[in-house]
Amino acid sequence: MQQEGCAINIKRVACIGAGYVGGPAMAILAYKCPDVTVTVLDISDARVQAWNSDQLPIYEPGLTDLVKACRGVNLFYSTDAKKHLAEADLIFVCVNTPTKLQGVGAGKAATFGFWEAAARLIAASCQGCGPKIIAEKSPVPVKTAQAMSRVLSGCQDGEKTRFEVISNPEFMSAGSAVEDCLKPDRVLIGGRDTPEGRAAVESLARLYRRWVPPDRVLSMGLWSSELAKLAANAFLAQRISSINAISALCEETGADVQQVSHAIGTDSRIGPRFLSAGCGFGGPALQKHVLNLVYICESLGLAQAAAYWQQASRAGGQGPRVVDMNDWIKARFVRRVITSMFNTIRGKRIAVLGFSYKAHTTDTRDTASIDVCRGLLLDGAALSVYDPKVTPEQIHLDMCLPKGSLEQPRRQHTAVSLATVDVARSAMEACRGAHGVCVLTDWPEFRRLDFHAIFKAMMKPAFIFDGRNVLDHARLREIGFVVYALGKPLDPFL
């Protein structure tokens, strides 16, 4: 491609995938680089139409304003992949790598079908169109770039068709994606240690340096960049499962998990982030990447490294695992609801506040709410679900489809009757006539609810199960609620 040190000035960018990664990332790139034309591609005509409308297909604070400011100027959305890939200097690939459902590595290994399809689309669209930089953007297992390069290599034709694959993993978090892209902790760009690889890395780095401080734009080897993303998410998952394990101990001893986590977080070696106990982590990455990491270690013969992430002690049998702890904390929350309500919830109405896996997003992939709701339904509860942003159609879809059909094949799947799942238009509607309320997402509006009115509208005794510790528990008890707060001293009633 380029000679050593001869990075190019990128003027046209294409992105395959208009989802939770490609959508926000490309909007920021267009906003910060007004002289660069950015085109986001997707095979779904409905999704592209949504990006071109006033109702974007995903919700992120601040995203709509950014898109409207750039759309039609230097930001475009299209299904015409062949045209825009051929014209692009740089192509981002932002497609999913779901966990395999069957075959070798089922339940741990990633599926590369979408990535291979993207590589073949690029190869078919870019014949004779000059050199291209291909950047992995969405999270991928280690050596995905190598697999993509092998697919593309058969199509390279000298200088007329040359591809250089680099890694640029995205570290944005749902609910704060815009802010994360505008002010990232770091930007990783990995490439081959060749003149062409270094030039491709530098070409992309020049774009980021327009708004990211140079010391936060980190260049490294291709495999290091890919592994860094998996390792970061595995560390975060481990941290969340650790504090959730401590929360169970706090309940049994009368300690307060928020006080304990605050004390832990003041240690400069540890820090305060990701130390909030809750009813399980969710989202598209954490659990999947822990399992990917285990599979990669196993595949490379690193049994002890795999065992570290998969279970605490091989010699001691089935020890606690990062992922298993996450499952256990959700199941424990369901058991607490059942035992608190006199060991039966059959026929009882339970309001569920929050369905997305975290606040400020419509992303429901692997949300803890699905498992908690399924657990309550298995014991005969009638649910009324309310989420400020997730649509009723998405909630019904998530409750009906086996989770394995989306991201997570590990759970046993149970058919759910929509007759027992009502989607409410407001929190008050969800709580009216309910025996209990489960808070499963930390939406700020839940703190501001009129709990006096909610208490009057509920059956008595009125229970609140705060799975995110976002409410004022003392005030709720003054109103008359029986309150369960995860990781807090138990209410005397319980």
Continuous segment of H or E residues that includes residue 429: helix 427-431
Specify whether the backbone of 345 is left (phi greater than 0), alpha (psi in -120 to 50) or beta. alpha
pLDDT tens readout for residues 271-286: 999 999 999 999 888 8
Alpha carbon 326 to its chain centroid, in Å, reads 15
Would you tell me how many other CB atoms lie within 10 Å of the CB of residue 81? 20
Tell me what pLDDT residue 428 has.
98
Tell me what pLDDT residue 415 has.
52
Q: Which of 86-100, 233-247, 310-324, 434-448 has the lowest mean pLDDT?
A: 310-324
pLDDT tens readout for residues 12-38: 999 999 999 999 999 999 999 999 999
Tell me what pLDDT residue 294 has.
87
Per-residue confidence band for 1, with pLDDT thresholds at 50, 70 and 90: very low
Give the mean pLDDT of 200-229. Answer: 95
Q: Residue type at 359? A: A
Q: Residue type at 308? A: Y
pLDDT tens readout for residues 333-368: 999 999 999 999 999 999 999 999 999 999 998 899
Given a cut of 90, is residue 57 above it in pLDDT?
yes
Give the mean pLDDT of 105-114. Answer: 72
Tell me what pLDDT residue 407 has.
45
DSSP state of 255: -
Per-residue confidence band for 416, with pLDDT thresholds at 50, 70 and 90: low
pLDDT tens readout for residues 435-463: 999 999 999 999 999 999 999 999 999 99
Looking at per-residue pLDDT, the higher value among 133 and 139 belongs to: 133
Is the bond into 461 cis (omega within 30 degrees of 0)? yes
